[in-house]
Amino acid sequence: MLNTSEVVFLQLGAMAALAFYVAANLGANDVANSMGTSVGSKALTLQQAIIVAGILEFSGAVLFGQGVSETLATGVVNAQVFAAQPQVFLIGMVSVLIACGIWLQIATSRGLPVSSSHAVVGAIAGFSCVAAGINAVDWRTIGTISLTWVATPVASGALAALFYSVVKYSILDRPDPLSQMREWIPWLSAAMLSVFGIIVLPSVVDVALVQTGAIALAHDRFGWNLPIHDVVIGIGSIGAIALTLNSWKKLESVEKEEERRKKEEGRGDKGFGPSTNSSPTPTLRHSLIEQQMARFQVLSACFVAFSHGSNDVGNAVAPLAAIAYIRRTGSFPSEDFSVPLWILVVGGAGIVIGLAIWGKNVIATVGEKIIELQPSGGFCAELATATTVLLASRFGLPVSTSHALVGAVVGVGLIKAWKSVRLQTLLSIGSAWLVTIPIAAGLAAIIFSIAQSIGQF
């Protein structure tokens, strides 16, 4: 016979396996947010994208995922309702894990990018209504999330259209795009490092310098008073300068190669009348420009993957953290309870495994089936996505990275060639968005009802 501690350990292990399953489906679906456009524009191969995203998603989830101070559980439900019955809430969170895992796997198998945040919110609302009635749900939060369905893709699409318009009319459509690219490299570097640096660097600096005591040591030993925001700005500035200098060096080698090609074409055409090779030159120049933009896009995709792992891992592990808290304390989790490191490792590992096994379906949808992308368009889409998510977080608005990226890809498509946007793909994605919350809610309600009828856990 197993003793009580062994039973609790086995139950918690089973819940960890469920959370791993949800994280795997989240990785397969949501990592398309960071890598879909890079694969679609051919800046990265699918295998390269999976390897890069796997490393950065896991690093972000494990190293910086513990910064979450407020979970979906305490934000969507009425805490007072479940404070007196934490075991009911525990059964509900198990139902949430199962429901979200099933729905995310269905969506991923069909290549549909859906919001894991919305799936978790819908599932929590579904079981809460069955468990304690309609008043157990914070409907104001649900309403805010619903509004972001429209606001997020529209805002991200508008920003992407603006960014791509600048790139298109200032670089791509100019008579000498390589020269224009040289002038714009510092601005592109500054824009990218500013947006992504604000998302990632504060967490990095906090963990690497503040929590380790490095800043306090510098103050005690040298008298340096280093505010975190100044450190972030300094690191970002150094990164932007380094990226600019490296890009200029790469562009210089490209310009020398183009000049060599021109000389060879000129020698080949001597004595034979007008050159027959003059027409491909604009195409060649645009190809060289896209090679330069691909470098920016790969770096931007890395930042998105890292920040996604640190932010969205909570969608998979927050229910598990709540379950572990109730098992340990016997009480409803408070708003400031922290996520243990082992739970973050479970979530990070699940994201990587899911991405490797199933990720290609959604990556192909976002990167290739909405519109054909080139690195210039992919870079603008990722920059717009990050900007939208950053602005929303500053105002405390819960948004979906999936919605933001799809809207950004459409925004680029409208400027590039609006007739090439595949409406059928958008209709399929939009339908998946609309049904995510009700389906997740229904599944969680059914699973919770079955668990309650069994009467045991």
pLDDT digits (tens, 9 = 90+) for 228-269: 777 888 888 898 899 899 888 888 887 777 777 777 766 655
Task: Evaluate whether 375 touches 289 at the Cβ level (below 8 Å).
Answer: no
pLDDT at 89 > cutoff 80: yes
Q: Give the CA diameter of the chain.
A: 96
What pLDDT, on the 0 to 100 scale, is given for residue 273? 47
**Predicted confidence (pLDDT) at residue 324 exceeds the cutoff of 60:** yes
Residue 161 pLDDT grade (very low, low, confident, very high; cuts 50, 70, 90): very high
The pLDDT of 29-43, averaged and rounded, is: 70
d(CA 152, CA 397): 10
**pLDDT surpassing 70 at residue 319:** yes
Do 409 and 160 form a contact (C-beta atoms < 8 A)?
A: yes
Alpha carbon distance 173, 425 (integer Å) = 29
- CB-based contact 362:113 (threshold 8 Å): yes
* 276 pLDDT more than 50: no
Contact 171, 289 (CB under 8 A): yes
As a whole number of angstroms, the distance between CA 157 and CA 136 comes to 35
| pLDDT value of position 445 | 93
The 10 Å CB-count burial string (b at 16+, else e) for 431-440 is: ebbebbbebb
User: Which of 106-115, 147-156, 169-178 is predicted least confidently?
Assistant: 106-115
More confident residue, 437 or 337: 437
Rounded CA-CA distance 203/71 in Å is: 18
Q: Is the pLDDT of residue 183 over 50?
A: yes
pLDDT (0 to 100) of residue 99: 93
Report whether pLDDT(444) > 70: yes
Q: How far is CA 454 from CA 396, 445, 447, in A?
A: 40, 14, 11
The residue-averaged pLDDT of 109-138 equals 84
The pLDDT score that the predictor gives to residue 279 is 42
- As a whole-number percent, the residues of the chain with pLDDT over 70 amount to 81
Q: Which residue has the higher pLDDT, 285 or 128?
A: 128
CA distance 117 to 142: 11
Give me the pLDDT at residue 277, please.
44
Alpha-carbon torsion, ordered 344, 350, 353, 358, to 10 deg: -140
pTM above 0.85, yes or no: no
Lowest mean pLDDT among 72-76, 171-175, 437-441: 72-76
Distance of CA 380 to the CA centre of its chain: 15
**Listed range (358-372, 421-435, 441-455) with the worst mean pLDDT:** 358-372
pLDDT value at residue 404? 82
- Residue 360 and residue 357: Cα distance in Å, rounded? 8
Which is more confidently placed, 331 or 286? Answer: 331
Say which DSSP state 421 is in: S
CA pair distance 394, 126, nearest whole angstrom = 29
E strand or H helix at 7: helix 4-30
Total Cβ atoms within 10 A of residue 302: 20
Adjacent-strand bridge partners of 137? 77
Average pLDDT over residues 423-442: 81
Of 362-371, 375-384, 428-437, the least confident: 362-371
Q: What is the number of helices (H) and of strands (E) in the chain?
A: 17, 0
Average pLDDT over residues 212-226: 76
